[in-house]
Chains A and B, each alone.
Chain A
Amino acid sequence: MNPEDLKYHKEHTWARVSGKKATIGITDYAQKALGDIVYIDLPEVDSNIEFNSEIGEIESTKATSSIISPLTGRIIEVNEDLVESPETINEDPYGKGWIAIVEIDDVAEVNDLMDASEYEKYVEEEKK
């Protein structure tokens, strides 16, 4: 199940917002669709990222896919552990498989994201 305390973007990324900061990652649906993840190209610390634009890439044994940012802001930390063990995203997409921490430009932007139940409905629609 998708955690209730997260916000979701339609390109299957999530954000755990805490004040001006947010941890971001890809959803359980995304990791399942990708299959075994073999490589991740992380964004650079200090880089500015924009809502709805590409911040990195994920490669699985099945596909290569862009990571789309759910928020606008600046990257303040990335999960370096994923470089050696990208499969962590498959194992724990909402926990140890986090991708980056962002300092959000405008917290109001969070309101544009879906909550867990909206995201679940969205995924159901997309599956059809």
Chain B
Amino acid sequence: MKIAILGAGPGGYVAAIKAAQLGVQVTVIEDTEVGGTCLNKGCIPTKTLLATTELLHKTKNSIEFGIEISGQVTPNLSKIMERKNKVVSTQVKGIRSLFKSWGITLIEGRGMVISPEKIEVQKRDGSTDIVGADRIIIATGSRPAQLPIFPFDGDHILSSDDALTIKSVPKTLIIIGAGVIGCEFAFIFSELGADITMLEIMPRALSTEDPEISETLERELKKKKIKLMTGVKVTGVQGRHDGIHVYLEEGKELVAEKLLVSVGRALNSDGIGVEAVGIEKGPKGEIVVNEKMETNIGGMYAIGDVTGGLLYAHVASREGIIAAKNIIGADQKMDYSVVPATIFTSPEIATVGLKENQAAEKGIKVKTGHFQFRAIGKAHVMGEITGFIKVISDETSDRILGVHIIGPHASDLIHEAALAMKAGLKTRDIAETIHSHPTLSEGMMEAAEDVHGEAIHVPKK
């Protein structure tokens, strides 16, 4: 069995390794760099920058921990970017060496499906190659969405890709879109010294999250002096000698040195030949697949962002594994019921499962437990007391339906909840599990206890 995978992001490269492990001969075609958006322009570089800005914040406030620093604490952007590039290139090398060890062929160039068994590749050296395969997986991902009224110019009007390679920190920055990407960048650039204004069309930041999470995050934005305007619509953008002018529908005009546009992602489903072979696409251009990751064309699979749905690296990776297994004859289906998601703001946000409003829409009666990090000793030890854990459970069965966290290490804490949900556990199971002290994880135990009004570190109600 021979397969070809178009795209080596977290969907494609994981599918490639899994298929190779299962004994399949794999060729991967990648236009830019292995690791895709996640590794080169997304998850990893942004989190590397965040690691720097968190350290910077702690250093500036080191006196809180009893450390006096004499002299200036100054971020050096070129050194920061150097570190980021090094982290990325180490990971890139890691994937390349995994490919080598599993005997996966990597062809660097732009691939185009020309039949259900053939991909034509425009290689970087200008030559053309035809890759033949018994099965094809399309994993071409997504890119920053561009709106006609503010086209990216890479200099003053930036996409998230551009923001990762800027040469200097702008004095003033307007961010259009207070979703995940906009919020993550706001905290990073604010710490580096930019004066930031965020513009959001929806009534709150992170409008798809639990409203209490948005409320807490908005307070943190305020603490950092990041201005947030919600419910505003941008009607025009104009570059002038004194900066970028942004016009709002209400008549206001804002000016900043640079503009970062983070209004979502566009799917990379054009120009890859899927129309020619008759692959069905949905209204957003997404490649339509079933739960087995099969397209409507026999032998052709698609995974990750290009299929729409949840645009998460970890979902793409799992879809890649499912596709690889199905290719060798398994009958596996994707299960999206437990998908943890993380947002790397300060503090972090992590969620899994249903939100209260989603449960209500489904007509499920729920109980909720709530626990503030500021009631945990370890949070005070770390000097990070903001945030809470909210547990949502089925009123009758007590099974955990969802957990929503904003607070220190939320991205690590969420997986206890994810595992519990995957195993169909009840809040009692978490509440009755001894959690080590002093840890942030105690918060999960207390939030589960609070579902039953039994949390220890909560005053009598």
**CA distance in complex: A99, B417 (Å):** 41
Q: Is the CB of B222 within 8 A of A41?
A: yes
Q: Which of A57, A60, A61 makes the CB contact (< 8 A) with B219?
A: A57
Residues of B within 8 A of A59 (CB): 219, 386
**CA distance in complex: A64, B374 (Å):** 10
Q: Which of B222, B372, B380 makes the CB contact (< 8 A) with A63?
A: B372
**CA distance in complex: A61, B380 (Å):** 8
Query: C-beta contact mask, B222-243 vs A, less than 8 Å → 1, else 0?
Result: 1100000000000000000000
Residue of A nearest to B388 (CB): A64
Known: A61-B380, A61-B385. A41 touches B374 (CB 8 A): no
Tell me the smallest distance from the CB of A6 to a CB of chain B, in Å: 27
Indicate if A32 sits at the interface (CB-CB under 8 A).
no
Indicate if A96 sits at the interface (CB-CB under 8 A).
no
Q: Is the CB of A39 within 8 A of B380?
A: no
Q: Is the CB of A63 within 8 A of B223?
A: no
Residues of A within 8 A of B385 (CB): 38, 61
Residues of B within 8 A of A39 (CB): 223
Q: Is the CB of B375 within 8 A of A62?
A: yes
Residues of B within 8 A of A41 (CB): 219, 222
**CA distance in complex: A61, B373 (Å):** 10
Among B374-425, those with CB < 8 Å from A are 374-375, 380, 385-386
Tell me the smallest distance from the CB of B405 to a CB of chain A, in Å: 16
Residues of B within 8 A of A60 (CB): 374
Do most interface residues of chain B lie in helix, strand or loop, or is the interface mixed?
helix
**CA distance in complex: A61, B386 (Å):** 9
**CA distance in complex: A59, B215 (Å):** 13
**CA distance in complex: A121, B222 (Å):** 37
Query: C-beta contact mask, A55-82 vs B, less than 8 Å → 1, else 0?
Result: 0010111111000000000000000000
Residue of B nearest to A62 (CB): B374
Residue of A nearest to B222 (CB): A41
**CA distance in complex: A63, B386 (Å):** 9
**CA distance in complex: A92, B141 (Å):** 58
**CA distance in complex: A124, B314 (Å):** 55
Tell me the smallest distance from the CB of A31 to a CB of chain B, in Å: 16
Tell me the smallest distance from the CB of A106 to a CB of chain B, in Å: 31
**CA distance in complex: A41, B218 (Å):** 11
Q: Is the CB of B374 within 8 A of A61?
A: yes
**CA distance in complex: A39, B374 (Å):** 13
Tell me the smallest distance from the CB of A26 to a CB of chain B, in Å: 18
Tell me the smallest distance from the CB of A85 to a CB of chain B, in Å: 14
Tell me the smallest distance from the CB of A66 to a CB of chain B, in Å: 11
Residue of B nearest to A33 (CB): B459
Query: C-beta contact mask, A3-42 vs B, less than 8 Å → 1, else 0?
Result: 0000000000000000000000000000000000011010
Q: Is the CB of B374 within 8 A of A63?
A: yes
**CA distance in complex: A62, B219 (Å):** 16
Residues of A within 8 A of B386 (CB): 59
Tell me the smallest distance from the CB of B388 to a CB of chain A, in Å: 9
**CA distance in complex: A57, B215 (Å):** 11
Tell me the smallest distance from the CB of B407 to a CB of chain A, in Å: 12
**CA distance in complex: A15, B10 (Å):** 59
Tell me the smallest distance from the CB of B327 to a CB of chain A, in Å: 52
Tell me the smallest distance from the CB of A83 to a CB of chain B, in Å: 10
Tell me the smallest distance from the CB of A126 to a CB of chain B, in Å: 13
**CA distance in complex: A128, B369 (Å):** 25
Residues of B within 8 A of A64 (CB): 219, 372
Residues of A within 8 A of B219 (CB): 41, 57, 59, 64
**CA distance in complex: A60, B375 (Å):** 11
User: Chain B: residues with CB nearer than 8 A to chain A?
Assistant: 219, 222-223, 372, 374-375, 380, 385-386
9 cross-chain CB contacts under 8 A:
A38-B385, A39-B223, A41-B219, A41-B222, A57-B219, A59-B386, A61-B374, A61-B380, A64-B372
What 15 additional pairs, Cβ within 8 angstroms, besides A39-B223, A63-B374?
A: A38-B385, A41-B219, A41-B222, A57-B219, A59-B219, A59-B386, A60-B374, A61-B374, A61-B380, A61-B385, A62-B374, A62-B375, A63-B372, A64-B219, A64-B372
CB-CB nearest 7 A-B residue pairs:
A61-B374, A41-B222, A62-B374, A61-B385, A39-B223, A41-B219, A57-B219
